Each structure stands twice: as C-alpha cells, then as structure tokens.
Amino acid sequence: MGGGPSSSSGSTSTSSEGIPSECYKQAREEFDSRYLTPATFQIAYRDFQIIRPLGRGAFGSVKEVKYIRDPIPDYLQRTNSTDLTITSTRVALKIINKTSAHKMKQEEHVVNEKRILQALNFPFIIRFYFSFKDNANLYIGLELIEGGELFRHLRDSERFDEKKAKFYASQIILALEYLHLLGIVYRDLKPENLLIDRYGYIKMCDFGFAKKIDRGKAYTLCGTPEFLAPEIILGRGYNMGVDYWALGVLIFEMNAGYSPFWDADQQKIYHKIINAKFRPRSSFTDHLTDVVRGLLQKDLTKRLGMMFNGVNDIKKHPWFRDIDWLHIFLKKLRAPWIPDIRINNFPDAEDEEPARSSVNLHEKEFSDF
Ligand SMILES: Nc1ncnc2c1ncn2[C@@H]1O[C@H](COP(=O)(O)OP(=O)(O)O)[C@@H](O)[C@H]1O
Ligand SMILES: [Mg+2]
C-alpha cells in the first residue's frame, strides 16, 4: 500500500486511524488490475539449481533454488526503497503436485492461491515473482525468507513477552487490514505460515486458503482446527471475521506458549471453540486479556475488528497503545529478535523429488493456473 498508515496523532485528508484514503484507493486499484489480468511467465524447472529444502506443503514441497540462466528476467529484479536494483536469483519455489491437489479436490484453492498472490503488494506479505506449470506440477516462485517460521522461534522461546508478541501481532493486523480491504479472507493464520525475514519482521506466506469474497460469505470448512472460528465449525457461512478470531488464538498462543483451545481430541477442540471456552494465563496483563477476549468473541457483531470502526478498534485498543503504526509499516523499529541467517533456519524440512509425468496431467482443471 502506497503511503501507509500515519501515527495516531492524525494527519490531513485521512479516512480512519490516520491512513490517507488515497492509499486505500491506490492499493485496491493496483490489486484489481493485476487480479483481472494475471501475468504469465516463460520459465521452467530446468532453469534452476536446487539448493535446499525449506518446507513441506500439503501437496508438495518448498525449496530454495537458484536461477542459472542468462540474462536474468526482469521479474527477478526489483527496486528497493532507496532506488537500488536488487536481483534475486535465489528464490523459494513452491511445488504443488497436480495429482495430489486433484485428489484432495483443491484445484480451485490452488488456482486462487496463485491468482491472489501475484496481485498482492504489501511489506508483511510474501512477494510473488513468477509461476509456471509442467506435466506433473504447478510452481510458484517466491521471495526467499531466511529467518524461518515464527512457529519454530516460538517453540524455541517457549513463549514471547508481551512486547515481542505485540510487535509481531501489529504487522499481522496491518496485513489483515490490507487483505480485507481487497475483499480477501486469509483463512490460515497460524505460526507455521508466518515467516521471519532477515530484519526480524513478519512475512505472511501460504495463500492456499485465501479467497476473494468481497462482501459475500464463504462456507467451506478449511483451515487448521485450533484456529477455526466458531462460525466456520457451525457451517452457516462466514466472512473476514474468521481472521480476527484466528488473530485472537495467535495472540494468546504467542503470549502463553500454548493454544487456547488445545486438546488431543479434535471434537473436544471444536466443543471448546463453539463455547469460546478458554482461560487466560495468570501472567497476562489486563489489557492483553481484554484484547484476546475481544477477538475470541463468538458473537460476530461484538468481535473486535467486526464492529462499526472495523480494524481501528483493534489498533486503538489499550494493549496496542505504545505501537506507532506508521513506524511498524515503514519497518523503522529495530525488531526484538534478528535471526541468524548464516545458519539453516529450516532444519526440519525434508528433501523430496518433484513428481514427473510424460503426459500432461489434469490440464483442464488447472488451466487457469
Ligand atoms: N518464501 C518462502 N521462504 C522460505 N520458506 C518458505 C517460503 N514459503 C514457504 N516456506 C516454507 O515452506 C512451508 C510450507 O509452505 P506453505 O506455503 O505454507 O505450504 P502449504 O500450503 O502446503 O502449507 C512454510 O511453512 C515455510 O516453512
Ligand atoms: Mg502452510
């Protein structure tokens, strides 16, 4: 988004919480035009050297790869904030096995993932470079994020102090605000899908469940059990509110070190969620407990983020009082933790050979990819 939010002191010609309305308009226009006419790319798997595995996806894998041809295409080059051209020959390649995605009836989700990702542009969302397909697989080339998953950092730290949890939460809130502005519901907020970049800031990845619903509703039961909002489980249709519920689960988990509705039995998880039954940790400050309660609110008309003032009710909540939203947006603050990127921060990822096929599999189902 162009200029981004301004500090709570306010500025002229702003719509809400200090964000110039021009920024909203511009972000939406840019997204809409890219979403309507997705770009295509002349590139193939053999143009890359495989460096290391990064992760395992539901229908394939993610690998660090290096582009080895000359000349380097312009979509691997970008200009940074100080007008320097950066060429990224090392990228993260998400490989999706067409047969697996087809078996799980995920064709539409995978097509959505690419169409949405290629149109987004936001500091806390993974950057898309290119996509292509071959007989067996679909491929998405993404900005390589070296710091590992928030999941791993949280597990290693057991839990975060409130200041650190708030630093991460604030970036996720800005990312959700941007997505919701575009009419997109994210549906898979969890620490595994949040990466930490070399500066210690968040990059949201995995748009496998993201969907453009605008003012409508979605009905599909998808996401991760502990993060599902009650209205998803109840199957009566849902909207952007599910992302704010998941944000409540995430803020709880970052501060407590465990999930609010955790149970070994999935049915019991659902039971606890439907009854919004959770107990804040005794160490939580009152403001933290209050923001979590506001987000984990069963009644959508009372859930933080879903009332008249929208996301501004979250941004202005006392727990976020010391957050300067513009400084966060512009990445002006030093992050509470900077990952060591000389080491492999994806040690649990397993290597996996991509599938091959001599015939073009499921060509029709994936024609829009
Ligand atoms: N751009 C990236 N840079 C570094 N690691 C990544 C990147 N994208 C994904 N990963 C790693 O791969 C894992 C799986 O990718 P993801 O998109 O979440 O796949 P899935 O939809 O199957 O969950 C992520 O949790 C992360 O650890
Ligand atoms: Mg994922």
The enclosing domain of 278 has a CATH number of 1.10.510.10
- The pLDDT confidence band at residue 321, using thresholds 50, 70 and 90, is very high
Give the pLDDT mean for 185-190. Answer: 98
Q: What is the mean pLDDT of the chain?
A: 93
The two structure tokens encoding residue 106: 């995920």
- Among residues 156, 188, 322, 340, the one annotated as catalytic is 188
- Alpha-carbon torsion (1, 82, 79, 330), positive or negative: negative
Percent of the chain clearing pLDDT 70 (strictly above): 94
Decide if 366 is inside a domain: no
pLDDT reported for residue 57: 79
Amino acid at 83: D
- For residues 179 and 274, state if they share a domain: yes
Residue nearest atom 12 of ligand 1, based on CA coordinates: 55
Ligand 1 atom nearest to CA at 208: 21
Q: For the chain, where are the alpha helices, taking DSSP H only? A: 21-36, 98-103, 107-117, 150-157, 162-181, 230-234, 241-256, 266-274, 286-295, 312-315, 325-329
pLDDT at residue 85, rounded to an integer: 76
CB of 177 within 6 A of ligand 1: the answer is: no
> How many domains, in total, are found in the chain?
2
Rounded mean pLDDT, 213-233: 97
Instruction: State residue 213's pLDDT score.
Output: 97
For the cut 70, the answer to whether the pLDDT of residue 17 exceeds it is no
> Which domain, by its residues, includes 163?
150-329
pLDDT at residue 328, rounded to an integer: 95
- CATH number of 132's domain: 3.30.200.20
Give the dihedral sign, CA 38/39/45/50.
negative
Same domain for 87 and 225, yes or no, is no
Q: Per-residue pLDDT tens for 141-159?
A: 999 999 999 999 999 999 9
The answer for 105, left when phi > 0, alpha when psi is -120 to 50, beta otherwise, is: left
**Residues 323-360: pLDDT tens digits?**
999 999 999 999 999 999 999 999 999 999 999 999 99
Q: Is the CB of 254 under 6 A from ligand 1?
A: no
Q: Within this chain, do residues 185 and 322 fall inside the same structural domain, yes or no? A: yes
Please tell me the predicted confidence (pLDDT) of residue 84: 77
Is 188 catalytic? The answer is yes
Residues β-bridged to residue 65: 50, 91
What is the tens place of the pLDDT at every residue in 68-92?
999 999 998 877 767 777 777 999 9
What is the predicted pLDDT for the residue at 10? 37
Is residue 45 scored above 50 in pLDDT?
Answer: yes
Q: How much is the average pLDDT of 152-181?
A: 98
Whether residues 97 and 239 fall in one domain: no
Last residue of a domain, one of 143, 161, 196: 143
Query: Which is more confident, 28 or 81?
Result: 28
